[in-house]
Chains A and B, each alone.
Chain A
Amino acid sequence: MKLKTGDGGWSPYLAGALVGVLAIVSVYATTQWMGKTNYLGASTTFVRAAGLLERSIFPERVAANEYFTKEKVRVDWQFMLVIGIFIGALISSKSDRSFKLESVPPTWQDRFGPSIGKRAAGAFLGGIVAMMGARMADGCPSGHGLSGMMQLSVSAFIALAMFFVIGVIVAGLFYRRRYS
């Protein structure tokens, strides 16, 4: 098994196993210092970000919203974790020179051509649908896929199976034809 990939990355088995170690250290550290076990996750932060943005325009609306009240609009542990992901990816990609400005990924371009507008529309609309799904299911591939599976939660097995099976079907249909 190779520990490095051709472009200077690490084997996904190695990098993944280290995320497993990080998850263990993180649940221990959060329990010790925050008094509550926190698991890796990302999608609740999008609710808090939406709440923070919306609050700057319509403060009463956010205060009266049941879901924002339930999820608590604030910059918490997970919010900083999500910001950290950006910084960590930037450091890693700059240090091994895999940082690359990309506006339209190759697979997308093969199917829909080089239009940035089309890619932007796809990413935006896909983002709306995906986040509504993640909030309904109460987790994304981090919260369900990693943290839920590590805990052997029933919901994680079902959610991950749905994410992937539906993803495979939709991707198969969506990227099937080639751009000409």
Chain B
Amino acid sequence: MSIDQILGLITGVLFGFLLQKGRVLRFEKQVGAMLLKDMTIFKFMLSAILVGMVGIQILASADIISLSHKAMNLGAVLVGGALFGCGWAVMGFCPGTSIGAMGEGRWHAVFAIAGMVVGAAVYAELYPFFKSTVLVWKDFGKIGVTDVLNISPWFIIPVFCAGIIWLFFWFERKGL
């Protein structure tokens, strides 16, 4: 194995371990969030964002790492996001958690994984069509919130973090 592959494997094992410990891999937790009954996956995701964001923005400000925004391609993000939402609700897993769910014995995830591999192949076949339609409607490019608002990330981050923490207190008060 190359260094890239070894690094990926180690990172993945730790990621899978934490996803399982947080109990977010399960169909019940994913669909529970979409039925607005159980906010476990949001507690998990927003905690990860809170910590990760501060560290990544510090490293990026110091030029140790580079940010890599995904393109704000309006048609792609809106239509693709909506399609993902439809499939996610029925499947009850997202791509990463389907693999982890297999690891913790929820073997019906194998059908979800098979479907996603087929979906990827279908997308590859239809790519020329999408490239001349949905993908060219309006592309704002690889932009961050700081580029749009034209202010330092260090003004946005405290506000964003405060919002997340407020949401956590709200979840706990509501018993979600």
The residues of B that contact A138 with a CB separation of less than 8 Å are 70-71, 73, 76-77, 80
- Please measure, in the bound complex, the distance between the C-alpha atom of A177 and the C-alpha atom of B166, giving whole angstroms: 34
- Please measure, in the bound complex, the distance between the C-alpha atom of A142 and the C-alpha atom of B94, giving whole angstroms: 9
Closest chain A CB from B19 CB (angstroms): 6
B40-58 vs A, CB cutoff 8 Å, 1 = contact: the mask equals 1101111111111101110
B residues 86-118 in Cβ contact with A at 8 Å: 86-109, 111-118
The residues of B that contact A43 with a CB separation of less than 8 Å are 95, 116, 120
In contact, A168 and B34 (Cβ under 8 angstroms): yes
Whether B162 is near chain A, meaning CB under 8 Å from some CB there, is no
Known contacts A50-B118, A92-B104, A171-B35: A81-B85 contact under CB 8 Å: no
In contact, B47 and A17 (Cβ under 8 angstroms): yes
Q: Which of A12, A43, A75 has the most CB of B within 10 A?
A: A12
Q: Name A's interface SS.
A: helix
Which residue in chain B gives the minimum CB-CB distance to A47?
Answer: B120
The residues of B that contact A180 with a CB separation of less than 8 Å are none
Partner of B119, one of A17, A128, A161, A163: A128
- Please measure, in the bound complex, the distance between the C-alpha atom of A47 and the C-alpha atom of B123, giving whole angstroms: 9
Partner of B87, one of A67, A127, A154: A127
The residues of B that contact A30 with a CB separation of less than 8 Å are 7
In contact, B56 and A46 (Cβ under 8 angstroms): no
- Please measure, in the bound complex, the distance between the C-alpha atom of A102 and the C-alpha atom of B160, giving whole angstroms: 38
Known contacts A24-B55, A124-B115, A133-B83: A101-B9 contact under CB 8 Å: no
In contact, B52 and A134 (Cβ under 8 angstroms): no
B residues 119-176 in Cβ contact with A at 8 Å: 119-128, 130-131, 134-135, 140, 142-148, 153, 156-157, 160, 168, 172
Q: Name B's interface SS.
A: helix
Whether A56 is near chain B, meaning CB under 8 Å from some CB there, is no
The residues of A that contact B84 with a CB separation of less than 8 Å are 129-130, 133-134, 137, 140, 159, 162-163, 166
In contact, A20 and B55 (Cβ under 8 angstroms): yes
In contact, A20 and B77 (Cβ under 8 angstroms): no
The residues of A that contact B87 with a CB separation of less than 8 Å are 125-133
In contact, B56 and A163 (Cβ under 8 angstroms): no
- Please measure, in the bound complex, the distance between the C-alpha atom of A152 and the C-alpha atom of B127, giving whole angstroms: 28
Closest chain B CB from A157 CB (angstroms): 7
The residues of B that contact A154 with a CB separation of less than 8 Å are 69, 72, 140, 143-145, 147-148
Chain B interface (Cβ < 8 Å from any Cβ of A): 1, 3-28, 31-36, 40-41, 43-53, 55-57, 59-60, 64-73, 76-109, 111-128, 130-131, 134-135, 140, 142-148, 153, 156-157, 160, 168, 172
Chain A interface (Cβ < 8 Å from any Cβ of B): 1, 5, 7, 9-24, 26-31, 33-34, 37, 39-40, 42-43, 45-47, 49-51, 53-54, 65-68, 75-93, 96, 98-108, 116, 119-146, 148-172, 174-175
Can you list 14 A-B contacts (CB < 8 A)?
A: A13-B168, A17-B51, A18-B18, A24-B51, A43-B120, A50-B118, A77-B4, A89-B101, A91-B16, A101-B107, A149-B49, A150-B48, A152-B160, A154-B143
7 closest residue pairs by CB, A with B: A84-B12, A127-B115, A88-B16, A130-B87, A162-B81, A20-B51, A166-B85
